[in-house]
Structures are given as structure tokens and as C-alpha cells.
Amino acid sequence: MLIAVLLYLSILVLVGAYRSRQVKTGDDFLVAGRTLPARVLVFTLLATWVGSGSLFGGAGLGYRAGFPALWQSAGAWVGIALVYFIAPRVRRIAQYTVPDILELRYGPVARVLGTITTVLAYATIAAYQFRGGGRLLALIADVDPDTGALITMIFCVVFTSLAGMLSIAYLDVGNGILMTAGVMLAVVFMVDGAGGVGTSLAALRPDQVSLFGTLGPQASLALFLPTMFLLLGEANMYQKFFSARDERAARLAVVAWVLGTIVVETLIDSTGVLASVAMPGLSEVQSEEIVIRVAIDLLPAFMGVVLVCGAAAIIVSTANSFLLTPSTNLIRDVYQRFVNPGMTDRQVIVYTRVIVAVLGVAGYVAGKFFPTILAMALWAYTMYGAGITPALLGALLWRRATRMGGVASILVGMLTTLSWEVVGLVRGADGVPDYLFGLETAYPALVLSIGTLVLVSLATPAPTEEEVAALYSGRA
């Protein structure tokens, strides 16, 4: 299996190196020259979204809780469905980053706060891709997980730096196909081995096939809400919409993306659920490795290789995008915007590559402070979903949103997430947070961020039609 994974990753590097020769401008590196057709866009959206959070966190939760784990995935499904109505407007605006949009509506302070929030959240998401890669290498090659995470980080930094969005988007076509094939083969094999769908379901506990199961309504919604709000404001998604050939391509890609996400994430979670019968007794940390354990211990060799290579594709694809987006934010939204407005295309490319490396190292270090991949995912989702999404949707959809309302919303969402998590960890034990009032961070962070946007906007003078017309019409 190790040889197969190394061979597949080598192919990615070679193709990425070839694509790097086509990068001529900053637009090529950051938004693929705004040329992506729908068929490419859908696969890069799918491969980016379905990462280690699904492969390890989602499948592990499926192993422990059953099909109620799909509440986390369902947040993405609803979010993507809502994005269908936003995608054409986003492409029409034709910027580079989400902070670009925030400044157009709320001013330069919103741009800086949006960049800080994005870097905090996305460096964490990249970090758990590294941890996922470390666990994969530990299982297939007996490599120490920390060493494996370091190897994964170095590979992803090098690969992302080669050709930026132009390389990532086209390689994600192959990654998306391989990922889907791998989990589909795994589920079909396990269901067939158990004697069919009916027999497989009958072997599960009643709570594993209920609506909320052992999670309960509160914990289920605490999975659903951060995922939905992250998706609605997801900066990688918007950067890829900016990369689309036109508005029609962006909208068509969203339709196929939601269908693909439903299929792939259901298959991944089902792998964990079905494996809870075939491989019982795993700890919480071990359960997060269940997809790789299925590939090694349950599947025939060929199927196992496809699944492991698909897992590697998931990790690499997601890490690449979550390194490129915050790096783009720091270069364009801070350095170029406030320090060096006259940057050349060559400087944009070189400086972005340097920041990719810096964030890769920072993410690797940050990954050591979380007990599980699921915990990292929920923290990052809440940070971005509460800090960015309400203000971003207000900028795109609510004409009454004001500068002060948007800035205050970003600040309150970010600070509430940080403070609520810190207090929970201080009150808790063994890395398990004890949240105030028993409320997961998503609830206070989202309520306060949305409430702040609405109340401050209503309490401050409304923007004029001229102030928002350019943004809504795409002339900004």
C-alpha cells in the first residue's frame, strides 16, 4: 500500500510541476486565470470540502454514534444548497478573496479582521489534514504519527507552491474520482459480506439508526450549525467561484457539488458505521482511523489500495486549498493592500509561496494542541462560521447591513469562539472541555455574531444605495 500511495503522490507532483510551467500571472496562480469550466470546478469543490474532517472525524463519529453522525455532513448539504443562489453573484463580483468582499461593504478594518479569522481557522483545518496524513502513514508504514504529520506537511507545502489554483483545480478531478471510487467499493464490499443491506442494518444498535441516537438534539445541532455556517462563507469555495469561467459554470458546479457531497460523505460515514460491527471495541482515537483500518484489515488488496490512495487524495487536496486560501489572504488582503500596492505578478507568486510554507509549519505545530481531529474540525468550523459568515452573507444579501455592524459581527464572532473554548478547556479535564451552561461554542458564537450584525446595523445609519450598488451589480 505504501508503494501505491507514493506512486500516486509522485504522479501528482509531476503533473503539478508540469502545470507550474503554465503559470504566467498572479491571476493564474490565485484564481486559475478565471478559466475553470463547471466539470473541473465541481471536482475541486468536492475534493476540497471532503477532507480529513470527514475521513477521520466523520467516519470515527459514525463508528461511535451510527448514522446520527450525518448531522455534521447535513450541515454541508444545506449550506451548499443555499450557496446555489449566491454563486452567480459571487462570480459576478470577480474579486480574489472573501476579505475583498468584506472591504467593499464594510471597509478596510473588516478586511483585516476577516483575514485574521480566516488564517486562524484555515491553518487549523490544514493542521488536521497533516495529522490525518500522519495517521495514514502510521497505519500503512509503521511511521510515528508526528513524523508522518511532518512528512505530510512538507509534501503539501511543496505541492501547493508549485502552481497554485491552476494545479490544484485540475488535479482534483482525479482526486475526486479516486476518493469516490474508494469509499464506494468499501461500503459495497462490507454490505455484501454481511449478507445485504437488510442484514447490515439489523446488526446495528437501535440508537445507531435513529434520528439523534446517543448524541441527542443539542449535540447534533452543534455538529450541524458550525458546518453549515462554515460552508456558507467558505473562502476556498468563493475563491474557486472567482476562478470559474462564468456565472453559469459556477451555478452548474454547485448543483453537482451538493449531489456529490451527499453521496461521498454518506459513504464515508457508512464505512465507519458498518465497521463498528466488523471491528468492535476501538477507542475514540482509534475509531478516527477506521477507514484506513478497513482498507488494511477488511478489504481485498486491490480495493484496499484504491481506498488508501483515495484517502491520501482527500488529505492532500484539502490541505492544498486550505494552505493556499489564507496565504492569498495575507498577501493580497494585508501586504499588497496596505504595504506594497505595486506588487508585480512575480512578487505575488513568490511571496504567496513563502507564506504557504510559514502557515504549513504553524499548522503542524498547532495540530499538537487538540485531542482529536473532530475537535479541531469543530473549533475551526465555528471560528470561521461565526466570525465570517454572518457578515459575509449580510454584505451579499442584506442592503441594511452597515459598516459598523459588519465589523462588530466579525470581531464578536471571533472573540466569542476563542474565549468560550478557552474557558471550556480551563474548566475541563484531560483535554475534554466543560462549556459554560453546557452549551457548545457554536451556540453563543453564532447567536452573538448574528445578533450583533443585526442590532448594530439597525442602530447605525443605513448605507446609501450608491454605497452598495457597485457590490450588488458586480461593478466593484
CA 11 distance to own-chain centroid: 24
More confident residue, 115 or 366: 115
- Amino acid (one-letter) located at 135: R
| Domain spanning 2-371, CATH class | mainly alpha
Q: What's the chain's length in residues?
A: 476
What is the mean predicted confidence (pLDDT) over 159-177?
Answer: 75
Residue 476's pLDDT is 42
Residue 410's pLDDT is 97
Q: Model's pTM, two decimal places?
A: 0.83
Domain boundaries, the chain: 2-371
Res. 475: pLDDT tops 50: no
Query: What's the rounded Cα separation, in Å, for the pair 232 and 34?
Result: 21
Nearest to 128 by CA among 286, 323, 298: 323
Query: What's the rounded Cα separation, in Å, for the pair 240 and 392?
Result: 16
Instruction: Give the tens place of pLDDT for each residue, 67-106.
Output: 999 999 999 999 888 887 877 766 666 556 788 888 888 9
Q: ∠ at Cα 108 (106, 112), nearest 5°?
A: 105
Residue 30's pLDDT is 63
Instruction: Give the tens place of pLDDT for each residue, 342-365.
Output: 888 788 888 988 999 999 999 898
